[in-house]
Structure 1
Amino acid sequence: MLAIQRSPNPSVNRVPEVTVEFWLIKLMAVTMGETAADYLAVNMGFGLSATSALMVGVLCIALVIQFSKKRYVPWAYWLAVVLISVVGTLVTDNLSDNFGVPLETSTILFTVLLAATFAVWYALERTLSIHTIFTTRREALYWLAILFTFALGTASGDLVAERFEVGYLTTGLLFGAVIALVAAAHYLLKLNAILAFWLAYIFTRPLGASFGDLLSQPMEYGGLGLGTTYTSLLFLTAIVLIVMWITIQRGRNEDGAVEPEPEPIGPT
């Protein structure tokens, strides 16, 4: 069992609690990551290399902002997630399209890199819990792991949907079933919560990417033909609205919080 170490002050944890809203935004972010990368590279005509350079630069700015907050700020955190989702997609696309790396190789490569990141993280911190991201080193390892989960999810999703010719809908349903099995193993068979979280986090990437491709790709390629523009705008709007709602609720909770009475120091 992995050790759980709590922050001395939970309010300084730099990532959100795992709630329904967390999974909703995460799923929409990875869906948008798939379609936004295609939109910039193809529809906007930037090309894969220029799009990759641009988005890496924007992501670096977003991460600087995120690291500077030293706590969870919804808009800064989810901006970084959306951008790292786009960059993770572009990393895999570059390996496949520009360097000719097979999707099978990319899937194995990112699995190894993610496992190595977790190994280093645990060796240094003795925990992989996201409830304890309250130091810069832990946050850096966290975001590195997130990047590899997105790149791995893109590679594995494309491998199943395109290389194995399973199709976007079937691929999405397949990975959805895997996530359901992970949830069942956690709640019914007491699968370790940290392991269950990271497995679900990894598999939501190909789940979202598959449905993103299903919505955006032309019908002759197995999609519904909505296009990357409308699909990206749809999910971006939903993400912004949910983050705004979370921010408002968080502000209300903080305003309504009551400071605890100090405990007496001497005998009473």
Structure 2
Amino acid sequence: MTTDHLTHDRPVGPVRHAASKVPEVTVYFWIIKVLTTGMGETASDFVAHRLGPIPAVGLGGLALVAALAVQFAARRYVAWIYWTTIVVISVFGTMAADVLHVGLGVPYALSTPFFMAALAVVFALWHRSERTLSIHSIHTRRRETFYWAAVLATFALGTAAGDLTATIGLGCLGSAVLYAAAIAVPALAHRRGGLNAVTAFWSAYVLTRPLGASVADWMAVSHQRGGLNGGLGPVTLSWTVAIIGFVGYLAASRKDLQHDVIPAQV
């Protein structure tokens, strides 16, 4: 699924070229996105088990601030900067959802709608301010701020949703199958049912989180829990290597650069 057909926010007046702060949506985008979700899930659990929940969240928060600072300082999309930020948000988003459940005892049945509401608020404020949620419009600091707030909310929501389905009887593998089927719905609705590109994109974006996390958990957890018993550390490392490989390819090939324009006054 791409947003290539999105035209409703294209300018009609004088325009100038502007550097995008996010990548073009290609098949590589979705592959890396799913990989980051799984890696973030197992990395978060690995660090929390080694350091404890509170130190892990503290380190994750510091890493998040540092990654966002570098991302905002960049003048245009840079593959390794962008995807490092996504990875850090993936880890921290997992921690945020887990802290509510493990640390504060909030059940996933409550944290899932909470993060869903948080994401809806971000989208509402973003659209009210900018009149678009298109990733083809991320050319200003304010729009980039809304974008990263939405991304963080999607990771927290996806983590809670994935854990919810896993704990109500589906398990990790069953959850992975469920979300693999669910993610096809917005893609088909966009291609054949007339669903607009922005809604289709963000629907699929949210679903990549529980999909990737469920697959990674299934690979990592013990046989007794229905998994492959790969271990948190080895699974985290293998998915990290895969991410580095794909991001390195995109950085070299520049296949994910957007070529877009925005109004001259923006």
Q: Give your verdict on TM over 0.5.
A: yes
Matches within 5 A, 1:1-150: 3-5=8-10, 8-9=15-16, 12-42=19-49, 45-150=50-155
How many angstroms does 1:221 deviate by? Answer: 1.2
Residues 15 and 72 in structure 1, CA contact (< 8 A), matched pair in contact too: yes
Residues 117 and 141 in structure 1, CA contact (< 8 A), matched pair in contact too: yes
Distance in 2 separating the partners of 1:65 and 1:158: 31
How many angstroms does 1:182 deviate by? Answer: 1.3
How many angstroms does 1:92 deviate by? Answer: 0.4
Q: Deviations over 1:203-249 (max 9, x none)?
A: 01000010010001111111110001110111100111111111111
In structure 1, what residue type is equivalent to 2:30? W
The structure-2 alpha-carbon separation of the partners of 1:2 and 1:158, relative to structure 1 and needing over 3 Å to count, comes to farther
CA RMSD between the two structures: 1.7
How many angstroms does 1:5 deviate by? Answer: 3.8
Q: Tell me if 1:220 matches 2:227.
A: no
1:196 corresponds to: 200
Distance in 2 separating the partners of 1:9 and 1:189: 34
How many angstroms does 1:10 deviate by? Answer: 5.3
Distance in 2 separating the partners of 1:98 and 1:188: 44
Residues 18 and 139 in structure 2, CA contact (< 8 A), matched pair in contact too: no
The structure-2 alpha-carbon separation of the partners of 1:244 and 1:111, relative to structure 1 and needing over 3 Å to count, comes to same
Residues 176 and 211 in structure 2, CA contact (< 8 A), matched pair in contact too: yes
1:161 corresponds to: 166
1:211 corresponds to: 215
Contiguous gaps of at least 5 residues in structure 2: 1-5, 258-266
Secondary structure of 1:64's counterpart equals helix
Distance in 1 separating the partners of 2:71 and 2:16: 19
Q: Deviations over 1:81-127 (max 9, x none)?
A: 00000000000000001101110110010000100000000000000
2:3 corresponds to: none
How many angstroms does 1:8 deviate by? Answer: 4.6
How many angstroms does 1:70 deviate by? Answer: 2.2
Residues 55 and 87 in structure 1, CA contact (< 8 A), matched pair in contact too: yes
Distance in 2 separating the partners of 1:198 and 1:160: 20
Which has the larger displacement, 3-12 or 176-185?
A: 3-12
Residues 38 and 228 in structure 1, CA contact (< 8 A), matched pair in contact too: yes
Aligned length: 249
2:182 corresponds to: 178
Q: Deviations over 1:164-208 (max 9, x none)?
A: 121111111111101111111110112110000000000010000
Distance in 2 separating the partners of 1:174 and 1:182: 14
Give the structure with higher Rg (CA).
1
In structure 1, what residue type is equivalent to 2:175? T
2:251 corresponds to: 247
Residues 212 and 231 in structure 1, CA contact (< 8 A), matched pair in contact too: yes
Q: Deviations over 1:25-73 (max 9, x none)?
A: 000000001000011111xx20111101101101110110000002100
Contiguous gaps of at least 5 residues in structure 1: 254-268
Distance in 2 separating the partners of 1:157 and 1:62: 25
The ranges of structure 1 where at least 4 consecutive aligned residues each deviate by more than 3 angstroms after the TM superposition are 5-11
Q: Which has the higher contact order (CA 8 A, sep 6+)?
A: 2
1:262 corresponds to: none
Residues 34 and 86 in structure 1, CA contact (< 8 A), matched pair in contact too: yes
2:238 corresponds to: 234
Residues 13 and 72 in structure 1, CA contact (< 8 A), matched pair in contact too: yes
